[in-house]
Amino acid sequence: MSSNNRISAEITAEQKATIAKNLQEAKETLKGVLIFNLTAEDRQAMLKLGPKALAFVNRSILHAKQSSNLVPSFLDVAEAQKNYKLAADLYEIYLEQSKFLRSIEDCMMVAGGEAYEAALVFYNAVKGAYRSDIPGTQDVYEDLKQQFPRARKNPETNI
């Protein structure tokens, strides 16, 4: 393992329980809103709403409210405004959660990379010991080498 250990921390069972509780409370708070489970096809077919589109929708609704004579009779501006507000509020939550998830991913990558590096150092030590016929290494080596399956070479392709 490298001497550059970038993280040495733990998450307690109490912290994990608190996070799980808070996430459950957030889900419960939004249970009447988070009612969809879209398929990949649904997502691909839908109009996407990012910061520019949100601004466009907001301006359009403001103009529709100010110029009601231009609004088609089948367009419910009040419902559009309600949908806009929901989308904008969810987008704010989404942005905060995205930052939080990115922090989790970054930390997970550093900690996981360091743990994987340590496992590789151990594996290589075991492999060396196994190749040197050190007693007691065969079972450990056989278990760990499964992580690295070798593709069988086809004698006909090695001409």
Mean pLDDT by 10 residues, the chain (159 residues): 82 97 97 96 95 96 97 97 97 96 97 96 97 96 94 65
Q: Evaluate whether residue 63 is within a structural domain.
A: yes
Output the pLDDT for position 158.
58
- Structure tokens that stand for 43 in this block: 């997502």
Rounded CA separation 159/154 (Å): 10
Q: Evaluate whether residue 10 is within a structural domain.
A: no
Q: At residue 99, what are phi and psi to the nearest 5 degrees?
A: -60, -45
Output the pLDDT for position 18.
98
Output the pLDDT for position 155.
62
Q: Evaluate whether residue 26 is within a structural domain.
A: no
By C-alpha distance, which of 130, 121, 36 is closest to 87?
Answer: 36
Q: Evaluate whether residue 141 is within a structural domain.
A: yes
Q: Evaluate whether residue 17 is within a structural domain.
A: no
Output the pLDDT for position 16.
97
Q: Evaluate whether residue 29 is within a structural domain.
A: no
Output the pLDDT for position 2.
55
Q: Are 75 and 64 in contact (CB under 8 A)?
A: yes
Q: Residue 47: which domain range? A: 42-149
Output the pLDDT for position 14.
98
Tell me how many domains the chain contains: 1
Three-class HEC string of the chain: CCCCCCCCCCCCHHHHHHHHHHHHHHHHHCCCCCCCCCCHHHHHHCCCCCHHHHHHHHHHHHHHHHCHHHCCCCCCHHHHHHHHHHHHHHHHHHHHHHHHHHHHHHHHHHHHHHHHHHHHHHHHHHHHHHHCCCCCCHHHHHHHHHHCCCCCCCHHHCC
Q: Evaluate whether residue 34 is within a structural domain.
A: no
Q: Evaluate whether residue 25 is within a structural domain.
A: no
